[in-house]
Amino acid sequence: MYTDTLIKIFQRDLVKLKVELEAYTNEEKLWLLPKGINNSAGNLGLHIVGNLNHFVGATLGNTGYVRKRDLEFSQKNVSRNVILKQIDETIEVIETTLLKLTPDDFAKQYPLIVFKEAMSTEFFLTHLITHLSYHLGQINYHRRLLDE
């Protein structure tokens, strides 16, 4: 079933996000912006958490989460442990929310217009996985660049 696949991929990649953030030899490097890099790993971690809690948790799961997208990119020096805890909480939100969805829910139009046109919930959830994967790759590159 598609639900199980989504949950496994989100869990896998969010756990990988934790592994990447934990792999930095110095926590301060999470926030560095070397030339040509627009977002720090710390801010990308906050962005992933905010993005998923908004688009999955609040929109599909009615969790009440209120997104502060600007802070995802402007906050600095948030403790790595705080971000790791937020990732664990996001994993729970994803699983709880997706388990409540029926096959009909996946076929329905996603409740928000995100890309200037309507799309199915299935399509948008698939997009969210690729969005997570994209930023996970950026974080991996950032870490390897700074932790030589």
Residues contacting 123, CB < 8 A, separation 6+: 110
Measure the CA–CA gap between 37 and 142, rounded to whole angstroms. 8
- Residue 90, pLDDT score: 98
> What is the residue extent of each domain of the chain?
2-146
Q: What does the pLDDT read at residue 39?
A: 96
- Asked whether the predicted pLDDT for residue 1 surpasses 90, the reply is no
CB 132 within 8 A of CB 6: no
Predicted confidence (pLDDT) at residue 91 exceeds the cutoff of 90: yes
For residue range 24-82, list pLDDT tens digits in order: 999 999 999 999 899 999 999 999 999 999 999 999 999 999 999 999 999 999 999 99
Give the percent of the chain with pLDDT over 90: 95
**Are 32 and 144 spatial neighbours (Cβ–Cβ below 8 Å)?**
no
pLDDT at 147: 79
CATH fold for domain 2-146 = Four Helix Bundle (Hemerythrin (Met), subunit A) (1.20.120)
Cα-based angle 20, 85, 37 (whole degrees, multiple of 5): 40
Of residues 142 and 148, more confidence is placed in: 142
**Tokens in use for 94?**
């994803």
pLDDT in tens, 99-123: 999 999 999 999 999 999 999 999 9
pLDDT of residue 6: 97
Q: Could you tell me which of 139, 128, 136 has the C-alpha nearest to residue 7?
A: 128
Instruction: List phi, psi (to 5°) of 34.
Output: -65, 160
